[in-house]
Structure 1
Amino acid sequence: MSKYDKNKRRCATRAIEKGAVKSIANIPSDLGKMLMKGSALQAAGEMEQAAAMQGVFGQTQSAAELSQGAQEVRASANSIDLPKFKMSNAALAGGDKIDSENVISLL
């Protein structure tokens, strides 16, 4: 193997390792996003239940307002986004993929 090939392989390996590290560093952001979105969707579901109860007791205006609020909460849940490390090239993205597969295989 030539010196050029060794350097090329070493650079690729470092980039893949860096992608894996960035992927691991993104785990807290992914978990936070999942928890925040789940919480918002749960709140929207509870608002829908409250709206249904209001409707049963004849409070139609209150029920409509709660339903509208639930729809707005659901819409805002989809816009939740937390900062993450970006994979700026294919080698980093490859490291991200390798890390994701390894984490999944551990579960």
Structure 2
Amino acid sequence: MRKFVIAPFVIAIALALGACNQAAPQTSNPVAGFVTDMHSFDAFIATHPTPDQFHQRYPDVQLVLPGTMTTMEVRANNSRYFAELDKEGRITGGRFG
């Protein structure tokens, strides 16, 4: 009489395949200059990036976090983004200014 040890094998396969379904971190090329493609920018913000991820994606845009002091100059070229953060420190929205 043969005994098959299928359960551990099946569990190992299920765990391996389940790990494949996890979303891979988005890696995209940095966007040089200021924000001109608002559709792509809004889609990026919708992913709730961290400030570090923002800096990696938009290195030329000044990110202003809550509580950060800045000058009162008005910028009309989308070069400074005033971010709103959730309690985990991720960017959930904001405005250019």
What's the TM-score, normalizing by structure 2? 0.35
Return the structure number with greater relative CO, CA threshold 8 A, min gap 6: 1
Higher strand share: 2
Higher helix share: 1
Larger of the two Rg values belongs to structure: 1
What's the TM-score, normalizing by structure 1? 0.33
